[in-house]
């Protein structure tokens, strides 16, 4: 009995110490130090191995990406004989206008109940196509002439600089379309971590215009509001707008299935059940009409020379996604989680940490003693391995079952610190004894 009690007390003491340290860290989880060195690594791992290829249904209208991909570039003769883009820095505005015309044509030929809700065009409209960025080219004029028409869906355009040739247009019809809310300017900014990877979206962007500070809502939040409420509320106090919350605004990244190419059209299904990606070449009339009901359409570049790409899921080596894929994943995350990702409560987190370390520590100590196997390093590594498996499994289960985040990495680090302390504590008497003998 004393034999078991001795191991029981030692395991309980060690588990209590780790749990106490976890409590302190939990209370300061929003600090940049924790986010950078612990939070990002932990969630990247769970995302990459447990979220990325899991089928998830948001039970919402469809989100469709129409990609300016290599297939589109070749079909539209935007590659030269060396397969390099031949249009310069800015993507041709007349090609954007052509796509809008195709969406308008679709809307005029389908039932009203199947109309899309919005079209987001992920191309910068800061400057015109001609030198110095203020004078309109014929392609710019074509786009403006098209944008000022009335249509049954909203058009969202990026606002990246103070000047925007659409927003600052002197055409009264364009200004009326902006006032009506038919054209909406949005932020496309993400929050970049110090390692260069993107993991979170940013609620707002503030730009100075004519000695005034103007606020632009994130496109992802704006689209979420349009789908859920039918309008954009830039003054919402929703917690996902809080830049300092390192959990609520995290993005869940999912992969796409194998790409299918047929007759100049490519299509991919995401592991988000309601997200699909088509080449912008594809005929809109070949898509099931009902899929457009209340849908969000996105147009953006994914071709090999597309400069709009971001690093994500920095586990072992970073992966990259195009900007339009980033926004689609951010939107799907919001649609699925509703209020953003939430932490597991403090009480339940402490219980998981304590019982995980207590049970594993006690079991290993007793088993090793029964086997008369005494190797502190091996015992430590065994406990660390089993705790890693247990905590990652619990974290993945909570995400999968309840959409709750439990950081598995923090208690493992604390466990290692406690073990190092034990080694140091056990080593001190030996040093003291050695010093005493040296003096003699």
Residue 118 backbone dihedrals phi, psi, to 5 degrees: -160, 155
Q: Name which of 99, 68, 100, 67 is nearest 85 in CA terms.
A: 68
pLDDT score for 424: 46
pLDDT score for 439: 47
| Residue in the block written with tokens 């632009």 | 216
Quick one: how far is CA 32 from the chain centroid? 18
pLDDT score for 327: 97
pLDDT score for 369: 81
Cα separation values, 353 from 12, 266, 400, Å: 12, 47, 19
pLDDT score for 340: 81
pLDDT score for 422: 55
Q: Name which of 394, 393, 385 is nearest 415 in CA terms.
A: 385
Kindly state the helix (H) or strand (E) to which residue 434 belongs, with its residue range.
helix 409-439
pLDDT score for 434: 43
pLDDT score for 440: 46
Quick one: how far is CA 245 from the chain centroid? 14
Query: What is the full per-residue pLDDT of the chain (440 aa) written as tens digits?
Result: 555 667 688 888 888 989 999 998 888 877 777 888 889 999 999 999 999 999 999 999 999 999 999 999 999 999 988 888 888 889 999 999 999 999 999 999 999 999 999 999 999 999 999 988 899 999 999 999 999 999 999 999 999 988 999 999 999 999 999 999 999 999 999 998 888 899 998 888 888 777 788 889 999 999 999 999 999 888 775 545 555 677 888 999 999 988 999 888 999 999 999 999 999 999 999 999 999 999 999 999 999 888 889 999 988 888 999 999 999 999 999 999 987 889 999 999 999 999 999 999 889 888 888 887 777 788 888 999 999 999 999 999 999 999 999 999 999 998 888 766 554 444 444 444 444 554 44
pLDDT score for 348: 96
pLDDT score for 243: 59
Would you state the structure tokens that stand for residue 210, as one six-digit string? 């004519």
CA distance 54 to 43: 15
Residue 250 backbone dihedrals phi, psi, to 5 degrees: -75, 150
pLDDT score for 298: 98
CA distance 62 to 65: 10
């Amino acid at each position: 009995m004393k034999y078991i009690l001795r191991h029981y007390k030692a395991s309980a003491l060690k588990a209590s110490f780790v749990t106490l340290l976890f409590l302190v860290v939990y209370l300061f989880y929003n600090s940049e130090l924790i986010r950078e060195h612990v939070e990002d690594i932990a969630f990247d791992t769970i995302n990459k191995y447990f979220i990325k290829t899991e089928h998830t249904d948001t039970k919402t209208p469809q989100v469709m990406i129409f990609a300016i991909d290599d297939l589109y570039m070749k079909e539209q003769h935007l590659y030269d004989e060396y397969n390099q883009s031949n249009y310069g820095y800015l993507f041709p505005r007349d090609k954007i206008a052509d796509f809008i015309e195709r969406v308008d044509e679709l809307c005029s030929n389908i039932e009203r109940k199947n109309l899309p809700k919005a079209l987001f065009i992920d191309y910068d409209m800061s400057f015109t196509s001609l030198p110095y960025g203020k004078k309109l080219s014929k392609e710019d004029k074509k786009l403006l002439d098209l944008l000022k028409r009335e249509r049954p869906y909203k058009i969202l355009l990026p606002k990246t600089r103070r000047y925007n040739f659409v927003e600052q247009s002197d055409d009264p019809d364009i200004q009326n379309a902006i006032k009506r809310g038919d054209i909406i300017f949005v932020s496309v900014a993400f929050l970049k971590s110090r390692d260069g990877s993107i993991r979170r979206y940013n609620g707002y962007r503030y730009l100075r215009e004519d000695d005034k500070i103007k606020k632009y809502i994130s496109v992802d939040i704006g689209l979420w509001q349009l789908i859920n409420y039918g309008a954009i509320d830039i003054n919402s106090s929703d917690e996902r707008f809080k830049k300092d919350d390192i959990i609520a605004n995290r993005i869940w990244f999912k992969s796409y299935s194998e790409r299918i190419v047929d007759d100049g059209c490519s299509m991919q299904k995401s592991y988000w059940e309601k997200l699909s990606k088509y080449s912008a070449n594809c005929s809109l009339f070949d898509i099931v009409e009902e899929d457009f009901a209340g849908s969000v359409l996105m147009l953006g570049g994914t071709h090999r020379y597309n400069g709009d790409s971001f690093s994500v899921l920095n586990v072992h080596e970073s992966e990259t996604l195009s900007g339009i894929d980033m926004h689609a994943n951010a939107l799907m995350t919001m649609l699925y989680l509703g209020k953003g990702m939430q932490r597991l409560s403090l009480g339940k987190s402490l219980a998981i940490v304590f019982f995980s370390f207590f049970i594993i520590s006690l079991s290993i100590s007793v088993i090793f003693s029964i086997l008369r196997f005494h190797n502190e390093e091996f015992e430590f590594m065994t406990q660390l391995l089993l705790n890693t498996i247990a905590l990652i499994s619990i974290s993945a289960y909570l995400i999968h079952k309840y959409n709750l985040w439990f950081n598995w990495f923090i208690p493992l680090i604390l466990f290692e610190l406690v073990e190092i302390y034990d080694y140091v504590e056990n080593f001190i008497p030996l040093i003291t004894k050695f010093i005493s003998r040296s003096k003699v």
